[in-house]
Amino acid sequence: MNKNIVLFFILSIGSFSALLAQGYSYSVNLNDIQNDQLSVTLITPEQENKNVVFSLPKIIPGTYAISDYGAFISDVTAYDKKGKQLPVNQLNVNQWEISKAKKLHKIVYQVEDIFDTEKEHEIYPMAATNIEKNNIVIHSPGIFGYLDHLSQVPFEITFDKPSNFYASSSRLPVSSTASQDVFEMDNLDDLYDTPIMYGIADTASVKVGNCDVLVSVYSPNQLINAKEIVGWLTDLLQGARSYLGGKLPADRYAFLYYFNDPKVKQSFQPGMAGALEHTTSSFYYLPELPAQQLKPFVVDVASHEFFHIITPLTIASKEVKEFNYNEPVLSKHLWLYEGSTEYTAHHVQVKSGINTKEEFLAKLSQKIADSKASYNDTLSFTQLSKYAASTYAEQYGNVYQKGALIAACLDIYLLHLSDGGYGFKNLTHDLGIRFGKERYFNDDELFDEIEKLSYPEIKEFLLKYVDGTAPIPYDYFFGLAGVKYQDTDRSLHFDDTASAKALKIQQAWLGTECK
């Protein structure tokens, strides 16, 4: 060892502890639930300004809708080190301004859960919180706030908990005893990207290649259990692994399931269900039904959320990677984030033999029918995307229908132009290498980047059918893979008279890959 190394070592320890002193330190006692509310205590990072704004998010990644989590926070009180109260002024539903902020030491507030609130709200259940004696869903945007300009510092979260409660999450606590867990998050994005479900554990795990997979289930009437779901997801994840070239893009991943008893009224619209993706986990809010009835749905949705690791959690624009929690600034490329994810979720199932080719075509036919029946087929998809949280909120659902069809046609078109050698998954793989987790693309440059990796015809396709307003001629693009589109009933069928070239493309598109 030489001296410089020792000096460097001391310096880095010094700067690390300085960094921690500037971090957030939250604590919550899960033993103390009053009227579905918890008390939250924050020891704040030091402040340099006279005033500081404490915020809960207005919008979070992946939902493309306004959430206003601040509506569930009350009694925000700020203190200095001596315990003296500082003036607090609520600015709007999500923000509180604290004066004399240089003295600020502690903020205390109450948080109410969203699952069964009486308040009107627009929050999706898969992004909501639950605070009950037997189950607590920590969706951190609904519980923890942040101070102005202080999102890139660490967060330490301490939960005191009943001794029979287990924390299900892709993140392991840095310390854990029977009565307390401590988690550390790198920054605000990391905190909001890491849901934790507390309760009496029904968990199961499996190792798929390089990835430790956790499944955690809350099913109040025990209609479905974690072991069953792990069984279903193992085939899917093995398929995903070969689809992605042999390696899964995470070393640890958690599927968190909350099954809602349909007899128990909650604050969401009846029938509302869904899931939300995170970098190394996904959270599911689904109706509690007999297991076999749920199986196809559980597998399709898990596949969708898992493939979000690629888009947008790896490949995304600035709007996604430097996310603004205070106001919605959306990207133009929901066709990529949601559409291509939805397409891949089903494509992997035909490629790995979980679905037949006919089942896959039936799923795509259904998407054509839904898209044409329920949405505007001549609306620019980039405009839909940009204004999905406002002007075009009612068109948002088309990202799962036409968005997936855009990716399907691109896949076939790429295979056609490359004579079966380069499909959509090759393109996303190469975009992933080009940008990676740490970099973003600029919204206006994506089509040029795709052209560089593929063909001028692909950019023309994107300009005409994604940015432009022309409906996609499905008969032409599916025809390239020997599939006939019938407009009368909007269905897709294999064409017995397809050319040898089309059959070759069809084989490249739908042929099973060995596991």
Q: How many residues bind Zn ion (CB under 5 A)?
A: 1
Minimum distance from residue 235 beta carbon to Zn ion (Å): 21
Smaller CB separation from Zn ion, 193 or 338:
338
Smaller CB separation from Zn ion, 302 or 354:
302
In Å, what is the CA distance from 350 to each residue of 111, 332, 359, 454, 504? 45, 29, 8, 24, 17
Question: Quick one: which segment of 51-59, 337-345, 361-369, 384-392 binds Zn ion (CB under 5 A)?
Answer: 337-345
Judge contact between 141 and 69, C-beta under 8 A: yes
Residue 481, Cβ neighbours under 10 Å: how many? 27
CA distance 4 to 141: 43
Tokens of 438: 């740490």
**Binding positions for Zn ion, 184-203, rule CB under 5 A:** none
CA distance 88 to 96: 6
Minimum distance from residue 424 beta carbon to Zn ion (Å): 17
Alpha carbon dihedral 217, 220, 221, 224, in 10-degree steps, equals: -10
Residue 207, Cβ neighbours under 10 Å: how many? 10
Question: Quick one: which segment of 161-169, 179-187, 293-301, 334-342 binds Zn ion (CB under 5 A)?
Answer: 334-342
Question: Quick one: which segment of 13-21, 210-218, 333-341, 443-451 binds Zn ion (CB under 5 A)?
Answer: 333-341
Minimum distance from residue 62 beta carbon to Zn ion (Å): 7
Residue 135, Cβ neighbours under 10 Å: how many? 16
Minimum distance from residue 338 beta carbon to Zn ion (Å): 5
What is the secondary structure of 84-145 as a DSSP string?
-EE-EEEEETTEEEESSGGGEEEEEEEEE-STT-SS-----GGG--EE-SSEEEE-GGGT--
Binding mask 291-330 for Zn ion (x = CB under 5 A): ----------------------------------------
**Binding positions for Zn ion, 338-357, rule CB under 5 A:** 338
Smaller CB separation from Zn ion, 113 or 338:
338
Minimum distance from residue 135 beta carbon to Zn ion (Å): 24
The packing angle between helices 424-435 and 398-417, to 10°, is 100
Smaller CB separation from Zn ion, 202 or 338:
338
Minimum distance from residue 277 beta carbon to Zn ion (Å): 6
77 has which bridge partners?
108
Q: What value does the CA radius of gyration of the chain take, rounded to a whole number of Å?
A: 24
Q: Which residue is nearest to Zn ion (CB)?
A: 338
Minimum distance from residue 285 beta carbon to Zn ion (Å): 14
Question: Quick one: which segment of 117-125, 332-340, 384-392, 427-435 binds Zn ion (CB under 5 A)?
Answer: 332-340
Smaller CB separation from Zn ion, 282 or 454:
282
Minimum distance from residue 406 beta carbon to Zn ion (Å): 15
- The three-state secondary structure class of 77 is strand
Contacting positions for Zn ion (CB under 5 A) = 338
